[in-house]
Amino acid sequence: MGACSRDTSTTTIPRQQLFTLGYGPAEDQINLFQVEGSDGSQKTRMTMRDGVFYISNGPAGKVLRVSSYGDILSIIYDPSRNSGQAIKQGKFGGSSGRVATAWPLSAPGEIAVDSKGSIYVEDRMPKDRWVNDQASGSLFDNAVLRFDKDGNFRDYLGQEGVGGTPFPYILGIYTTASDDVVVISLMQDSWLIHWFEPSGSLRNSLKIPRDALPRLPGDDGFLASLVKIVPDATGTAVILQVDYSREIVDPQTKSRSGIDYAGSWLYRMDLVKGTVTDRWEIPPLEESASSADQSTGAARYPLVPELLGAAGDRFFFVSIDDKSRTSIAILNRTNKGMERYPIDIGTDELFFNTMSLSADGVISALLGTKYEARVVWWRFDRLGRQDVGAQR
């Protein structure tokens, strides 16, 4: 459980562009722009499973299921904002049998898919179902809708299970290897983790208060900040990324003059007991000069990657340096070595981007430019094999 060593890699993982989506109201288009008069909170998220992409597009009020070749396989759409007639009439190329399901989606967001193809998607509940929690000062207004593989609505999950109390702001929805569902949400003073069986019954829930984050050994006034929570690959725990810093106090004036980065760690927390069972230190990848003046010798700042997820015995991180270059860093939980891999994302593609990590180590991304959205992937599941550059 000690500090991890740091390695760098010049290996390039080839990017494969799979398909593009235009912007607009058609079934094979998406909207990455907030509608005038909206509250600006609409999300667009994507996940990939077995080569099929699931895109939740909040501004357009729809969920798309798309093959890796760009064929629209099915759509769940809000009829007040979309028409499903084109897909029902088979106007897209490829095989018939596509399914268009009308459902009053309000604000679809976070999304996950299990091994049976069931879709779990965040949505906002009707206002008459909202709960103002006076104790925490939080609004409970979100649920997790469940659709079967054909897009038929099944039910929704709340905090207690099927039909339960809405969640506060949802940070992520994940499915495990055993098709359990993990919902991570945020309140004013804490994070909530709800763990459900495939049936929708609640296995357990955890609450992590802001003032109860794991502390460093010999803690000397460090400030702890939770960056990310994701399920562990085992499905029985979650992984927390916690950054630590210390306030800088001017010795003469005794006033606070800034924040000094002190380190970043991963913690494995058991989903039943809520106890930390392991930890790994995250080494900074490099120093960023974005706010440094080298001519005066001003301080440089470490570039700390953000946790993307866990796949097998590896943790995946993403980082963007001061020159807008994107890298993936991989930390091996066994030997604690870290390697870094530059990936190809153009500056014009940083207009919008969302990434997803599959259970076997494929990183997919939806990249938005001014003119189109591009769906790409990097096959990190082939890392170390001679066919890293092989086609899909």
Q: Is the pTM of this model over 0.85?
A: yes
Predicted local distance difference test score (pLDDT) of residue 35: 52
Which of the residues in the chain have pLDDT under 50? Answer: 1-7, 36-37, 90-95, 291-293, 386-391
Predicted local distance difference test score (pLDDT) of residue 238: 97
Predicted local distance difference test score (pLDDT) of residue 59: 93
Predicted local distance difference test score (pLDDT) of residue 252: 63
Contact status, residue 158 vs residue 166, Cβ threshold 8 Å: yes
Q: Characterise 105 by phi-psi region: left (phi > 0), alpha (psi -120 to 50), beta (else).
A: beta
Predicted local distance difference test score (pLDDT) of residue 222: 85
Predicted local distance difference test score (pLDDT) of residue 26: 87
For residue 264, list its beta bridge partners. 243, 282
Q: Tokens representing 40?
A: 């600006």
Please give the domain boundaries of the chain with CATH numbers for all domains: 15-382 (2.120.10.30)
Q: Is 203 helix (H, G, I), strand (E, B) or coil?
A: strand
The one-letter code for the residue type at 131 is V
Predicted local distance difference test score (pLDDT) of residue 1: 44
Predicted local distance difference test score (pLDDT) of residue 7: 46
Predicted local distance difference test score (pLDDT) of residue 337: 84
With vertex at residue 302, the alpha carbon angle to CA 210 and CA 365, rounded to the nearest 5 degrees, is 75
Distance CA 255, CA 259 (A): 12
Predicted local distance difference test score (pLDDT) of residue 10: 58
How many Cα atoms sit within 13 Å of 340 on the Cβ side? 21
Predicted local distance difference test score (pLDDT) of residue 324: 86
